[in-house]
Amino acid sequence: MKRRQILAAAGVGLAATALAGCNKEADCSKEVAAGSAAKPQEGGGGETFHWKMVTSWPKNFPGVGVGAENFAKLVNEMSKGRLTVKVYAAGELVPALEVFDAVSRGTAEMGHGAPYYWKGKVPAAQFFCALPFGPNAQEMNAWLHKGGGLQLWEEVYKPFGVLPMACGATGVQTAGWFNKEINSVDDFKGLKMRTPGLGGEVLTKMGGTVVNMPAGEIFTALQTGAIDATEWIGPYNDQALGLHKAAKYYYTPGWQEPNVTFELDVNIKAWEMLPADLQAIVRAAARDINGDMLDDYNARNMEAMEQLKKEGVEVRRLPDDVLAKLKGISAEVVDATAAADPAATKVWAQQKAYLERLYKYAEENEKDIYNIRG
Taking only the tens place, the pLDDT of each residue in 252-277 is 999 999 999 999 999 999 999 999 99
Domain assignment of residue 335, yes or no: no
Domain assignment of residue 103, yes or no: yes
Q: Which of 127, 119, 118, 123 is nearest to 100 (CA)?
A: 118
Question: 352 pLDDT exceeds 50?
Answer: yes
Domain assignment of residue 22, yes or no: yes
For the stretch 124-134, pLDDT in tens is 999 999 999 99
pLDDT > 90 fraction of the chain, expressed in percent and rounded: 86
Domain assignment of residue 266, yes or no: yes
Predicted local confidence at residue 4, as pLDDT? 54
pLDDT band (50, 70, 90) for residue 38: low
Predicted local confidence at residue 374, as pLDDT? 81
Domain assignment of residue 26, yes or no: yes
- Domain extent, residue 21, equals 2-170+259-299
> What is the pLDDT averaged over residues 121-150?
98
Instruction: Tell whether residue 77 is among the known ligand binding residues.
Output: no
pLDDT band (50, 70, 90) for residue 240: very high
pLDDT > 70 fraction of the chain, expressed in percent and rounded: 88
For the stretch 265-313, pLDDT in tens is 999 999 999 999 999 999 999 999 999 999 999 999 999 999 999 999 9
Instruction: Tell whether residue 231 is among the known ligand binding residues.
Output: yes
pLDDT band (50, 70, 90) for residue 39: low
**3-class DSSP assignment, residue 167:** strand
| Phi, psi angle pair for 89, to nearest 5° | -70, 165
Instruction: Tell whether residue 173 is among the known ligand binding residues.
Output: yes
Question: 206 pLDDT exceeds 80?
Answer: yes
> Is the C-alpha dihedral spanning 67, 68, 73, 79 positive or negative?
positive
Q: Which of 45, 267, 317 is nearest to 160 (CA)?
A: 267
pTM: 0.87
Instruction: Tell whether residue 257 is among the known ligand binding residues.
Output: yes
Predicted local confidence at residue 46, as pLDDT? 75
Instruction: Tell whether residue 194 is among the known ligand binding residues.
Output: yes
Domain assignment of residue 332, yes or no: no
CATH number at residue 131: 3.40.190.170
Pairing relation of β-strands 249-252 and 209-210?
Answer: unpaired
> What is the pLDDT averaged over residues 145-160?
98
Average pLDDT value for the chain: 90
Distances (CA, A) of 147 to 142, 223, 228: 6, 43, 39
Predicted local confidence at residue 32, as pLDDT? 39
DSSP string for 347-369? HHHHHHHHHHHHHHHIIIIIHHH
Domain assignment of residue 306, yes or no: no
Domain assignment of residue 155, yes or no: yes
Q: Domain tally for the chain? A: 1
